[in-house]
Amino acid sequence: MGLDVGVIGVGMIGQEHVRRLDGGPGGSRVVAVADADAERAATVAAQLPAAKALPSGEELIASDAVDAVVVTSWGPTHEPYVLAAVAAGKPVFCEKPLAPTQEACRRIVAAEVAAGRRLVQVGFNRRYDPAHRALKRAVDDGAIGAPLLVHCAHRNASVPPHYTRDMSIADTAIHEIDEMRWLLGTEIAAVRVLTPRRSSRGGALQDPLLVLFEMADGVLVDVEVSVNVHYGYEIRCEVSGETGTVELAEPAPVTIRREGTVAGLVPGDWRERFALSYDVELREWVDAVAGGRPPQGPSAWDGHVAQVVSDAALQSLHTGSRVAVELPEQPALYR
């Protein structure tokens, strides 16, 4: 067994995935890369034993050398690549968001339904983080009784200059959108975004945000989204249930006591905090796909639903009102 993978888009997250996939534990190799920046593609390919830089994503997908495709290019380019991979009958792992509009996500879902089998997996990596998996296990096993409330925080040390206000929802809080559906096993019925006092460190950004989800079964979720906290990268989640609470523990591997203080190191960014989740995510994807099985992770449908909720949250951010989430009917392929 083994899997020859082509990677489209070799910027930061693309290079992270290339490093994990080339010579990975499931017998995967990276045999082709493509990037809008041809020089970057050539540089990445030159560092890999078996990879060629191809002139376009389309050629990479069509290449006989490529068994499966990873799309880590800029969000607006995801749709044509994912559709081409589905048309070619090749499994495709697409980083989140599946596509930046719900219409584009709907077209991907329709193409996969027409193909009649699951080929698409979306990179919602939290589902693979050992701490998040332990959190879900505790909830599913009834360790805290029925969940009632969830308190989350999603904090970035800083964001790049191209980061816009809407990205706090569409690029950042979209992780909690997928996480809450997965963790609680129910849909988000309505969303409201509140805008507290603005951090002076956020420049023109409305930072932080408070995002509230009403789950279909009545559970309420609050998410602080702060993208300029400076002290590090922090993800918090506490579920409050009828008979107890469960929360993510501090991720620091050691605690330091000195000079009258107790301290643990905070990860610098998402690459550090979620390194293990990406390892597990790609290993499980390779195992399934190389074994000829459909991918088991977040589906095109999950990507689509996340986008519908993200759009509702953006509407709430722009209007200040509560927005109900209207989901289309789930196709049988995803049930």
Tell me the window of 138-146, 171-179, 202-210, 297-305 that interacts with ligand ISE (CB under 6 A). Answer: 171-179
Q: What angle do CA 155, 157, 159 make, to 5 degrees?
A: 95
For residues 182 and 136, is the Cβ–Cβ distance under 8 A?
yes
C-alpha–C-alpha distance, residues 91 and 85, integer Å: 7
- Would you say 88 or 275 has its CB closer to ligand ISE? 275
Give the chain's length. Answer: 335
Of 251, 272, 310, give the one whose Cα is nearest residue 122: 310
For the window 56-85, what string marks contact with ligand ISE as x by the rule CB under 6 A?
A: ------------------------------
Q: Minimum distance from CB of 141 to ligand ISE (Å)? A: 27
Q: Which is nearer to ligand ISE, 63 or 168 (CB)?
A: 168
- Report which residue's Cβ sits closest to ligand ISE: 172
Nearest-approach distance from CB 175 to ligand ISE, in angstroms: 6
Do residues 239 and 139 make contact, with C-beta atoms less than 8 angstroms apart? yes
Contact with ligand ISE (CB under 6 A): which of 175, 181, 192, 304? 175
Least distance from ligand ISE to the Cβ atom of residue 245, Å: 24
Q: Is 171 in the site for ligand ISE (CB under 6 A)?
A: yes
| Closest to ligand ISE by CB, 45 or 170 | 170
- Of 159 and 288, the one with the shorter C-beta distance to ligand ISE is 159
Closer CB to ligand ISE, 75 or 241, in the complex: 75
Interface map 237-276 toward ligand ISE (x if CB under 6 A): ---------------------------------x------
Stretch that binds ligand ISE, among 33-41, 143-151, 167-175, 236-244 (CB under 6 A): 167-175
- Near ligand ISE by CB under 6 A: residue from 172, 228, 277, 316: 172
Q: Which of 62, 71, 68, 124 is nearest to 94 (CA)?
A: 71
Q: Which is nearer to ligand ISE, 156 or 299 (CB)?
A: 156
- Pair of tokens at residue 174: 């979209």
CB of 2 to ligand ISE, least distance (A): 29
Query: Does 310 participate in binding ligand ISE (rule CB under 6 A)?
Result: no
SS3 string, 78-125, reads HHHHHHHHHHCCCCEEEECCCCCCHHHHHHHHHHHHHHCCCCEEEECH
Is residue 156 a contact residue for ligand ISE (CB under 6 A)?
yes
Summarize as ranges the residues that interact with ligand ISE (CB under 6 A). Answer: 156, 171-172, 175, 270
